[in-house]
A and B are shown apart, each in its own frame.
Chain A
Amino acid sequence: MSSAASVFEVTKQYVMDGETVHALRGVTLEIPDGDYVAVMGPSGSGKSTLLNLLGCLDRPTSGRLVLGDEELSDAGDDRLAEIRASRIGFVFQSYNLIPQLTVLENIEVPLYYQGRIDRPRRQRSLEMAELVGLGDRLKHRPAQLSGGQQQRVAIARSLVNDPYFILADEPTGNLDSVTTEEILQLIGDLNEQGKTIIVVTHEPEVGQRAKRIIRLRDGSICSDSRNEYSHPSPESRPLSPRP
C-alpha cells in the first residue's frame, strides 16, 4: 500500500519574545492511502501544527515531509500552493466559506487556482455538490445555509480537486449532535470509498469513528493505535468515480 503522507522527525518551533515554543518535537508518522486517522490530545499539544504541516500551509523547522511521492521539505511557496490547490482538501471548524460567493462558486475555488474552470471541472463541482446533498442549493450564499449545510459545502470543496487526503480540524466543533452525526456519516462514507481522512478532534465520539487514533502530548506522539471500536456506517452512499 502506497502512502498518502509521511513525516520523519519533524519539529516545529516558534520564537515568541525571545522564547522558543516547541510545538512539535520530532514526530514520525506514516499515513497509508485510504486510512482514517484521528489526531487527539490536549490543547496546545501540537495537533493543529501537525495538520498545517501536512496541509502544506507551513514548513517544518526540521525533518522531512513527503506527500504522495514528492519530497516537500524544501519546496518553495508557489509549489506548496500548487500542492494545496491540486492535492489537499481542507475542512475547517468554522467552515471558512467565502461569503460573497455562491455554493457552487465556493466549491470551485480550488479548481480556479489550478487553471481555467472548463466543462469537466464544472461537471465535477456539480457532482460534489450532489454528493453532499446540496445539488438544489447551488446558487445560495453561505449565509443562507445552516451550519451543517455549510460544512457540507466545505466537504464538497475539499473533495473537488481529488486530493491525496482530507484534513479536517475540528470539523464538528461548531455543530450540534444531530448534525455532527450527519457530517461524521458523510466523512465515514468518503473513507469507505477510499478517501484518506485525517481529523483533529477533542471529542471521543468523533475519534471513535476513525480507524486509527494518534495521541499527541506536548509536541510528541504518545500513542498510535488501531481503533477496534471503529464501525463504518452500515449504509453507504455511492461516490462518483475518480476522474
Chain B
Amino acid sequence: MPFLWFRTWHLGVKSLLLHPLRSLLTVLGIFIGVASVVWLLAIGEGISRKAQQQIEELGATNIIIRSIKPPEESIENVGSSHSIVPYGVTRADFERLAATIPTIDRALPIREVRYRFGYLGRNIEGRLVGCTPEYADVNKLEVDRGRFLTDTDDREKWNHCALASEVAERLFPYEDPIGKAVRIERAFYLVVGVMKERTPSAGIGGSLAAQEFNDDVYIPIHTLWSRIGDIIVTRRTGSFEGEMIELSQVTLRVDKTENVLRTAALVKETLKPHHRKQDYAVVVPLELLEQARTTRLMFIVFMGLIAAISLVVGGIGIMNIMLATVTERTREIGIRRALGAKRGDIIRQFLVETIALSVMGGLTGILGGLTCRPLIAALRNLLLRAAPDVFDQLPQVIKEVTPLIVPWSVPLAFSISVTIGVIFGLYPAIRAAMMDPIEALRHE
C-alpha cells in the first residue's frame, strides 16, 4: 500500500468526505497559517524592494548633506526682526570636504530657493535651483530641447537657465522658450534648455523631503551666489522673514560602495567643529538599506509568529480530529488488520488523511496568499475611507508597502503544510497501528 498509489489517496479523501464540515474546519487553521507565511514573505519583499528603489534613486554611493533650520534659532529670530542669523552648510564646509576626504569622487553644491518666475505678464512660483552641470546627471534629469547648464555658464556666472517641463509649459504656453528671457527677481535669465518631465522622488522622512522637480528653474550656482546672494527675504502675511544660507545641500559621491559608511563618518567629523548648532543633517542612502532590513525583520518576526501559532493550532486541530477518527474507526482498523494490513499500512492510511487535510489547507492557503496584493490595497482603501485619522497614525511602511509574492514562498508554504500533516498526524496514526486487532474487532 505504498504512498503514491492513487487508491491510497482515493481512500483517504473518501473518508474525509464522510465528514465534510469537520474536514473543512480542520483545513481552516492550516489555511490561515500557510496564507500568512506567503503574506509575510511578500510584505517583507515589498519593504526591501521599496528601500532598494529609494537607494537607487538617491544613489547608493551618495552622501547627502542638507541644511536644516535649528529650532532655537527661529525663535530668537522672531524677537529681533532684523538680525538674520546664518545657518546651514557653508561654502567653506564644501571646500573643506572636497579637499580633505580622498574617497570623495565628486561634490555637488546645491542651493534651493522658493521664487517667482515671470515672462511677459505671466508669473508662477517654483523652485529656483542653483547648481553645477552634474546636477542633471545625479538627479537623472533629461534634456528635452536645448541643453542643460555647462561649466562655462557657471565659471562665467552667466545669466543662463534651464526650465523644468511644467515651468516651460506654464510660462510659454504658445512659444518656444529657448532664447527667451525669464525674469527672476529683478534680473533676466536666458533660457538655454528645457528638461523632460521627471517622476517626483519619494521622501524618506526626516530631513529629506520628497522632490517635485517639475516646477524647477536651474541656474549656475555661482550666478546665484553673485546675483541673489545668501540672504533671501520672503514676505509672509505682513511680516518679513529672512534666511541666510550658503548651501541648501551638498551631494557627495564616494568612489566605492564599501567606502560609503567610513566616508560618512569622516564627513560628520569634518563638519562638527565648524557648527555650534545642529544646523545640518547627513543622509546616507546606504543606511536606509539597514533600516529597511530591520523593518523587514520585524515584520517577518511578527507575521512569522502569527503563522507559527496558527500552524500549530491548525496542527493540533488535525491531531484532535484524527484521534477522534481513529477511535471512531477502531472497528475498521481491526478488520483491516485481520485482513492483512501491517502496522505500516495503517500508519500510512491515516497519515494520508492528515496530509490530504493539510495539503488542502496548504493549497487554499497559497491561493489566499496570492491575493495579498489586491487585498492589502482594498483593506487600506477601506480604512482610509472608514477611519482616516487611524490611517494617518499608521507607520509609513504599512501605508505604502506593495507586497511582492516571492516565488519560492509557494513551494515553501506547500512543504510546511505537508510537514504539519506528517508531524501532527503521526501520533494518531501510530496509535491506530498499535491497537491489538482482536480488541479492535470487539470494539462497538
A residues near B (Cβ < 8 Å) are: 52, 55, 57-58, 77-78, 81-82, 84-86, 90, 92, 96-100, 109-110, 112-114, 116-117, 157, 161
Contact = CB atoms under 8 A, between A and B. Distances in A.
Contacts of A82: 340, 342
A81 B335 contact: no
B441 to A, nearest CB: 7
Interface string B334-351: 111111111111000000
B331 interface: yes
B209 interface: no
Interface of B: 1, 5, 7, 14-15, 18, 331-332, 334-345, 437-438, 441
A77 B339 contact: no
A84 B423 CA distance: 30
A96 B340 contact: no
Contacts of B345: 81, 113
Contacts of B18: 100
Contacts of A161: 340
5 closest residue pairs by CB, A with B: A85-B340, A113-B340, A81-B342, A84-B340, A110-B339
7 contacts: A55-B338, A57-B337, A57-B437, A96-B335, A97-B335, A98-B332, A113-B336
Contacts of B338: 55, 57, 84, 90, 96
A117 to B, nearest CB: 7
B342 A77 contact: yes
Contacts of A81: 337, 340-343, 345
Given A55-B338, A86-B340, 20 more contacts: A52-B438, A57-B338, A58-B438, A77-B342, A78-B344, A81-B341, A81-B342, A81-B343, A82-B340, A84-B339, A85-B339, A96-B338, A97-B335, A100-B18, A109-B335, A109-B340, A110-B339, A113-B340, A113-B345, A157-B339
A66 B425 CA distance: 38
Contacts of B332: 98-99
A92 B337 CA distance: 14
Nearest to A117: B7
Contacts, number: 64
Most chain A beta-carbon contacts within 10 A, residue among B334, B340, B343, B345: B340
Interface SS of chain B: helix, strand, loop or mixed? helix
B331 A96 contact: yes
A58 B440 CA distance: 13
A77 B300 CA distance: 48
Contact of A100 (B14, B341, B438, B441): B14
Nearest to A87: B340
A89 B1 CA distance: 20
B341 A113 contact: yes
Most chain A beta-carbon contacts within 10 A, residue among B5, B332, B338: B338
Contacts of A52: 438
A115 to B, nearest CB: 9
Contacts of A97: 335
A85 B342 CA distance: 9
A70 to B, nearest CB: 15
Contacts of A98: 332, 335-336
Most chain A beta-carbon contacts within 10 A, residue among B338, B339, B341: B339
B342 A78 contact: yes
A52 B340 CA distance: 14
Given A96-B331, A98-B332, A109 B339 contact: yes
A92 B342 CA distance: 20
Contact of B7 (A84, A85, A99, A112): A112
B342 A113 contact: yes
Nearest to A110: B339
A109 B336 contact: yes
A53 B165 CA distance: 97
Contacts of B5: 116
A161 B339 CA distance: 10
Nearest to A157: B339
Most chain B beta-carbon contacts within 10 A, residue among A52, A90, A98: A98
A7 B341 CA distance: 24
B7 A96 contact: no
Contacts of B438: 52, 57-58
Contacts of B331: 96
A113 B342 CA distance: 8
A114 B335 contact: no
A114 B342 contact: no
B343 A78 contact: yes
A77 B343 contact: yes
A39 B135 CA distance: 106
Contacts of A86: 340
A87 to B, nearest CB: 9
A26 to B, nearest CB: 21
A157 B340 CA distance: 12
B440 to A, nearest CB: 10
Contacts of A112: 1, 7
Contact of A110 (B1, B340, B343): B340
A90 B339 contact: yes
A208 to B, nearest CB: 27
A109 B337 CA distance: 10
Nearest to B338: A90
Contacts of B344: 78
Contact of B15 (A92, A100, A114): A100
Contacts of A99: 332
Contacts of A55: 338
Nearest to A161: B340
Contacts of A110: 339-340
B122 to A, nearest CB: 85
B63 to A, nearest CB: 71
A154 to B, nearest CB: 10
Most chain A beta-carbon contacts within 10 A, residue among B7, B331, B344, B437: B437
Nearest to A89: B339
Contacts of A84: 337-340
A147 B20 CA distance: 29
B219 to A, nearest CB: 86
